């Protein structure tokens, strides 16, 4: 049956059959080479973001956390995050951590809120990070989704939002107005 097929196609000679085989092998090799180079060119370099922000160390502003059970006031607070993200074929994968520490004037032990970052978007030096809360010593409501956002800059506000409605920020003199972001920040995006 194999020779009948070759005869119907008009490919009776061994040279024609050999040329056909070489053509198929060439197409396969070129396809593999192109798909490999396509993968290389669609893989983007990693992005890295490190940020740190203070509730001004109690020098002028007190730090606040608004929980379901009311407001909690702290003398000092600090927010820190480190995230590495890579993009491959349009999919973004981010791995990182965030941590907020709070200190009352009458307590030596810090209270922590912390978790993981699972997605990050950087656009024109503005970052948005999505993650989860894994520890909450302040509101005791673990498991919320969190969003950290702001500018890759010096002394720009860091916004911190949670899916359960908690708010974190500072009180500002002279009348104690509440602002829900962290001042005194340095965020570097690479």
pLDDT score of 168 more than 60:
yes
For range 180-189, the mean pLDDT: 76
Asked if 85 and 120 sit in the same domain, the reply is yes
Q: Which residues pair with 81 in a beta bridge?
A: 51, 98
Residue 79: predicted pLDDT: 85
Asked if 20 and 112 sit in the same domain, the reply is no
For range 181-185, the mean pLDDT: 69
Among the candidates 42, 58, 73, a domain finishes at 42
Asked if 56 and 27 sit in the same domain, the reply is no
Asked if 59 and 145 sit in the same domain, the reply is yes
Residue 33: predicted pLDDT: 53
Asked if 88 and 142 sit in the same domain, the reply is yes
For range 8-14, the mean pLDDT: 57
For range 55-67, the mean pLDDT: 70
Asked if 7 and 74 sit in the same domain, the reply is no
Asked if 122 and 156 sit in the same domain, the reply is yes
Asked if 106 and 83 sit in the same domain, the reply is yes
In the chain, % of residues over pLDDT 70: 61
| Structure-block tokens of residue 168 | 């974190």
For residue 82, give every residue at least 6 positions away whose Cβ sits within 8 Å of its Cβ, in sequence order, or none. 48, 49, 50, 96, 97
Asked if 157 and 125 sit in the same domain, the reply is yes
Q: Of the ranges 5-9, 32-36, 140-144, which is most confident?
A: 140-144
- How far apart CA 41 and CA 26 sit, in angstroms, is 23
Domain of 93? Answer: 47-189
Cα 51 versus chain centre, distance = 12
Asked if 22 and 109 sit in the same domain, the reply is no
For range 76-98, the mean pLDDT: 79
8 A C-beta contact, residue 40 and residue 143: no
Asked if 18 and 85 sit in the same domain, the reply is no
For range 122-140, the mean pLDDT: 91
Asked if 87 and 23 sit in the same domain, the reply is no
Split at pLDDT 50, 70, 90, the class of 37 is very low
Q: Of the ranges 17-31, 48-62, 149-163, which is most confident?
A: 149-163
* Domains contained in the chain, number: 2
| Structure-block tokens of residue 120 | 């990050």
């Amino acid at each position: 049956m194999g020779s009948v097929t070759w005869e119907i196609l008009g490919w009776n000679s061994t040279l024609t059959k050999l040329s056909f085989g070489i053509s198929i092998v060439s197409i396969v090799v070129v396809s593999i080479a192109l798909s490999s180079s396509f993968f290389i060119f669609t893989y983007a370099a990693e992005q890295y973001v490190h940020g740190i922000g203070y509730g001004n160390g109690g020098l002028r502003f007190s730090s606040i956390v608004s929980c379901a059970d009311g407001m909690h006031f702290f003398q000092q607070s600090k927010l820190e995050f480190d995230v590495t993200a890579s993009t491959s074929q349009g999919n973004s994968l981010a791995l990182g951590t965030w941590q907020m520490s709070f200190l009352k004037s009458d307590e030596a032990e810090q209270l922590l809120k912390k978790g993981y970052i699972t997605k990050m978007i950087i656009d024109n030096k503005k970052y948005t990070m999505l993650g989860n809360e894994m520890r909450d010593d302040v509101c005791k409501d673990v498991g919320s989704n969190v969003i950290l956002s702001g500018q890759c800059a010096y002394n720009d506000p860091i916004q911190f939002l949670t899916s359960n409605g908690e708010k974190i920020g500072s009180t500002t003199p002279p009348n104690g107005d509440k602002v829900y972001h962290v001042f005194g920040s340095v965020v570097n995006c690479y």
